[in-house]
Amino acid sequence: MESLPLICARHVVAHDPLPKLPSNLYPVLFQAAFLDGRHQVLQDLVTAWPSRVLNFQQLVGGRELLQDHPYDLCVQAVILGVKAQLQRELKEPGHNSKLQVLDMRGIPDSASGRAPDGESVWSVTVALAEACVEVSGHQREFQSCGSMQHEGDSGAATAAAAPQPPRVDVHADLFINGTSYGILRDALQTAAAGPLRLKCHQFQAEELSESQITSLLESMDPSCVRRVDLDCDNLGLAELLVILPHLSRFPELRSLKLQDSYVDLRRPTRESDTRIQRLAGQLGMLPRLQELSLGHSRLSGNLHQILGNLQAPLESLDLAFCFLVPADFAFLSQSIHAPALKRLDLSCHNLSQGLLEPLRLLLEETSASLLYLNLTGCSMADSHLDELLPTLRRCSRLRFLVLYSNPLSSAALQGTLELPDLRLVVYPFPVDCFKPEPEFGWGCEDPVDEELLAAANAEFSRILANSGRTNLVWTYDPDGAEALDYFSL
C-alpha cells in the first residue's frame, strides 16, 4: 500500500511545471515522477536538486522496483537534468548547484537496440558516456570564450576572479562492448578534468580485445572499482597475463570474473607451467579479492597453483565447467577458502566419474559458511543425491540449491525438503515427468508431460504446506537463482 506522502506527490507531479516546493519534498516527488514516467518533471527536479547527493536506486525504492518499471527514459531524464545544470553553471559562473554526487550504481543496464554489426547498445552506459563527453566539450567552448573575453587582463587577476569550475561525480556500473567502447574510452579519458566525472564501480566487458580492456582500466579512478567482469571468449592465458597486472592498481577490487576465457591447461607444457605461476602471482597481488569466477576454463589438476598465492580466503568461487579432477577437490577441501565459502558453483562436473566422494568431503569443509550451491548439469542421479543429503543437512546456512539439468526423480527431489533452512531450490524436470521416447526420436514435440509435471508440483506444494515451509520457493527456471546476488560487497 502506498504511503500518504507518495499519493500526494503523484498528484503534484501530474502538473508541469512544478510549483515551488520545500526541499524536503524532493525525494518523494522524485519517486512519484519515476513511478508515473514524468520525465520532464524528473529532469526539472534534478536541475534544482537541493542536496549534495542524488542516489537513484535509493530514491526509487531499490532494485526490485527498477525491475518492475521501465526506467530507461527516467535514467535519461536524470542525466539530462545533471547535464543541463552543469551547462548553466558553465555559462553563468557563480550559479552553483548543490548537487555534487550522482549515484547510479545498481541500475540494471539494458540493451536499447542493436548496432549495425549486431552488438547490443547498452543504454545507461552510453547515455552517461555521451553526457560526459558533451559537457566536457561545452567546458572547452566556454573556457575559450572566457579567455578571449579576458584577453588583456593580467593572468593573476583573471585567476583570482575565476570561480571554481562546476563538478559532479557520477558513480556507476559500466557495461561495455565493441559498440560502446569508443564513447566510453573518450568519456573516461576526459573524466579527470571534465565537469561530469565518471567513477566506475563495476566494469563488465563483452568481447573486447586485451588492448581495449587495458586502455579502459588505465583510464578509471583506481579508488572506485570493486568488480571486474570479463566475458570475453577471445582471451587466453597470454592475454590475461597482459590484463591482470592492470588490476593491481585497484586497491578495493573485491570481485573478478573471467568468464568464458580460452584457458585450457589440460595438456601442460613447460611454457604453460610458467604462465600459470605468473597468473597465480598476479592474482596474489589483489589483496581484497573475495569473489573469483573461472567458469569454462579448463583447469584440470591446476587449481592448487592458480589459487595458491591468494592472500585472503575467497567467499565466492565459480568453477563451472572447469574439468576439475579429484585432486582439485582435495586441494580446495584443505585450502583456506573452504571454511569461508558462501557461494560455490561446480556446475557441469560429472559426479559419476569419481567426483562424488571428493565433492562430499568438500561440502563437509564448507558446511559452516555455505549459502549457495550450484550443481547444474552434474549427471546427478537419485543415488548421488541420496548420498549427498546427509552432508547437505550439515550445511547449516545453506539457503539456495541449484540442481537444474540433472536426471532426478520426483521422489529424490522431495528429499531436499529435509533441508530446513533452504529458501530457494532450482530443480530439473523430474525424469518421471517425461513422456516415453517416440519410436523415431523426440522430433519437435515437448518431451515433458505437463499433467505429470503439474501433479509433481502439486505434491511438492502439499508437502511444503503440511510442513509449514511456505517460504521455500521451488522453480525449474534456471535464471531464477542467477537473477539474485548472493555475494554482497
Digit-coded pLDDT (tens) for 12-68: 889 878 888 899 999 999 999 998 989 999 999 999 999 999 999 899 876 555 666
pTM assigned to the model: 0.89
Res 385: pLDDT:
97
Closest CA to 317 of 239, 269, 249, 255: 255
Res 159: pLDDT:
47
Res 313: pLDDT:
97
Residue segments in the chain with a per-residue pLDDT below the cut of 50: 113-121, 158-160, 439-444, 483, 489
Res 433: pLDDT:
92
State residue 102 phi and psi, 5-degree precision.
-110, 115
Amino acid type, 370: L
Closest CA to 481 of 406, 385, 373, 368: 373
Digit-coded pLDDT (tens) for 311-359: 999 999 999 999 999 999 999 999 999 999 999 999 999 998 899 999 9
Q: Which three cell numbers stand for residue 219?
A: 583510464
Closest CA to 23 of 96, 100, 98: 98
Alpha helices, DSSP H only, in 415-467? 450-466
Res 370: pLDDT:
96
Query: Where exactly are the structural domains of the chain?
Result: 4-63+70-108, 230-484
Closest CA to 459 of 393, 411, 388: 411
Cα separation, 258 vs 399, whole angstroms: 26
Q: Which three cell numbers stand for residue 304?
A: 592448487
Give the HSE-up count for residue 182: Cα atoms under 13 Å, Cβ half-sphere. Answer: 2
User: 230-484 belongs to which CATH class?
Assistant: alpha beta
Q: Which residue carries 536538486 as its cell?
A: 49
Res 113: pLDDT:
47
Residue 436 contacts by C-beta under 8 Å, 6 or more apart in sequence? none
Give the HSE-up count for residue 70: Cα atoms under 13 Å, Cβ half-sphere. Answer: 7
